[in-house]
Amino acid sequence: MKKELLHLFSIVTLCLIVASLTLPMPVRAAGTVGNGDPGSCTESALDAVLSGGGLVNFNCGPNQVTITITNQKTISANTTMDGGNLITLDGGNTTRLFTVNAGVTLDLKALGLTGGSASQGGAIYNDGTVIIKDVLLTNSFAPGGTAGGIYNNGTLTITHSTLSGTAASNGQAGTIYNLGALTVANSNLSYNLAGLVGGSLYNKGTATITSSTFEGNSGSTGGAIANSGTLTIRGSTFNANSTVSSVGGGIYNDANLTIYTSTFSENTTYFGERGGGLFNGASGSAVIHTSTFINNSAPGGYGGGIYNDGQLTVLADTFTGNSNNGGVGGGIYSSINTTTIITDSTFFNNFGGAFGGGVFTSGPTSIVNSTFYANNPSGVNNGSLDIVSIKNTILAGNTVNNCFGTITSLGNNLEDAADCSLSEQGDLSYTDPMLGPLANNGGPTLTHALLKGSPAINAGTNAGCPSADQRGLPRPMLGTCDIGAYEFGFAILLPVISK
């Protein structure tokens, strides 16, 4: 009997040991900085609590408290720091705030970070994992170096945070330099500066940006973002970003860029440069989906909305009010040796200065089921001997010409003049498309509705017609695809869900 009990005890003990090994290790309770008195919250008190990692809280009284940091804190054990929206760590522009070692996680919550300074990562240098939530990061710098805010060589996640007033004045990446994996969601990156590349972000790794705002950033190349890695953007806004002496007022891309349901507005590249909203370089592949480019500019330059030197796909987008006074290509400029595909998109009231109010292209270009209305000068301009084809497309109300240069019709196009030399099956010249104003007709972007009785209704071809119109509604609704970006008919418009 004793042997049986001893055997049973041994089995139970072994099971408990194995179970303990498989359970996650608890966060070490590091302690609390301060005793309720603001004066007790000092750098030395923080250092004492930080040693060894764990959970760090603050008890500094009910008001805002700033703790001056005189030397960087190296995080060598998993650490969670919660400032309770009352604590700011200030490096006084003399030191970096945190360095995070490889294999270690630093989790910052409800905290202010300011006054960081270092040649790489003014506020944070990360070789491990950094999680930032509800954090205000301001006034941090990388003088002549890289990343005024955060240099990321590991994994960086930023949510519900604001990063503003950071700079690499003579360097690159005003706020974030990413060589690893970056996620930004529901955050604001505004009024940051890089003297060279990437006013707010320079991505050379993998980055995903969701529901975030980039505003008022400036860099020599890529006013808000420069991308040389893989970048996916969803539901975000780029407003009033700029470059002074180079390209890409909003974004510069020379790698892989995908954009969904985002807005580019009032971004600018100055002094005759290229790509007010977006510059896509020779090695770049850019796919723009269900997005809006409005009032972007490249004064005296090329591509008020987009300048394309690589591979560009425009799907279900709206370009309106983009310009380059005295330049070329108000909405889009595509150079020679490029490929441009435009489907289910609207170009309205863009101004190209010399040529191509809507689109100026010198490379092979395919335009399907799109609407070009009231652009100046011309809707579509072919500046080369490459084939620029149009199909199921409306060109009307464009100043000077609807088309300029050699345009190849693939049939079922409609124009209100005879500038495009339309002669294929289903083509209509001298025909008013009967368009409504640019308006919210459902879907994520503004469109021109086909009014009742429009000759564009059921006048397209189903061969090669997209399965949905610009709003995401199914085609055809009445048996045959309509001409243009908008499909006439009645349907229930479901919410847009980005994958």
Report which residue type is found at 42: T
Does any domain span residue 46? no
Are residues 361 and 300 part of one domain? Answer: yes
Residue with tokens 């200030």: 90
Are residues 261 and 219 part of one domain? Answer: no
Mean per-residue pLDDT, 195-220: 98
Does any domain span residue 45? no
What is residue 491's predicted lDDT score, i.e. its pLDDT? 54
Overall pTM surpassing 0.75 (yes/no):
yes
Q: pLDDT band for 17, please (50, 70, 90 cuts).
A: very low
Q: Which helix (H) or strand (E) holds 18?
A: helix 2-22
Look at the chain and report how many structural domains it folds into.
2
Are residues 415 and 273 part of one domain? Answer: yes
Does any domain span residue 50? no
pLDDT digits (tens, 9 = 90+) for 237-277: 999 999 987 899 999 999 999 999 999 999 999 887 899 99
- Token readout for 61 is 């009284």
The answer, yes or no, to whether residue 28 has pLDDT greater than 50, is no
Does any domain span residue 26? no
Q: pLDDT band for 30, please (50, 70, 90 cuts).
A: low
CB 383 within 8 A of CB 360: yes
Report which residue type is found at 69: I
Does any domain span residue 179? yes
Mean per-residue pLDDT, 165-181: 98
Question: Is the Cα dihedral 421, 427, 430, 433 positive or negative?
Answer: negative
- CB neighbourhood size of 239 (10 A): 20
Find the domain containing 460 and state its range.
247-489
> Cβ contacts of residue 36 below 8 Å, gap of 6+?
59, 60, 61
CB 235 within 8 A of CB 259: no
Q: How far is 66 from 81, CA to CA, in rounded Å?
A: 15
The answer, yes or no, to whether residue 22 has pLDDT greater than 50, is no
Q: How far is 189 from 461, CA to CA, in rounded Å?
A: 45
What is residue 272's predicted lDDT score, i.e. its pLDDT? 79
What's the mean per-residue pLDDT of the chain?
Answer: 93
Q: How far is 158 from 136, CA to CA, in rounded Å?
A: 11
Does any domain span residue 358? yes
Are residues 275 and 148 part of one domain? Answer: no
Q: How far is 423 from 267, CA to CA, in rounded Å?
A: 39
Are residues 291 and 428 part of one domain? Answer: yes
Q: pLDDT band for 20, please (50, 70, 90 cuts).
A: very low
Helix, strand and coil percent figures for the chain, each rounded to 5: 5, 40, 50
Q: How far is 15 from 10, CA to CA, in rounded Å?
A: 9
Does any domain span residue 495? no
What is residue 24's predicted lDDT score, i.e. its pLDDT? 34
- CB neighbourhood size of 105 (10 A): 18
Are residues 295 and 422 part of one domain? Answer: yes
Are residues 219 and 309 part of one domain? Answer: no
Are residues 369 and 412 part of one domain? Answer: yes
> Exposed, middle or buried by CB within 10 Å (0-12, 13-18, 19+), for 434?
middle
> Cβ contacts of residue 4 below 8 Å, gap of 6+?
none
Largest CA distance in the chain: 105
Are residues 191 and 131 part of one domain? Answer: yes
pLDDT digits (tens, 9 = 90+) for 273-314: 899 999 999 999 999 999 999 999 999 999 999 999 999 999
Are residues 281 and 155 part of one domain? Answer: no
Does any domain span residue 43? no
List phi, psi (to 5°) of 353.
70, -95
Are residues 331 and 281 part of one domain? Answer: yes
> Cβ contacts of residue 324 below 8 Å, gap of 6+?
276, 297, 298, 299, 300, 301, 302, 303, 304, 330, 351, 352, 353
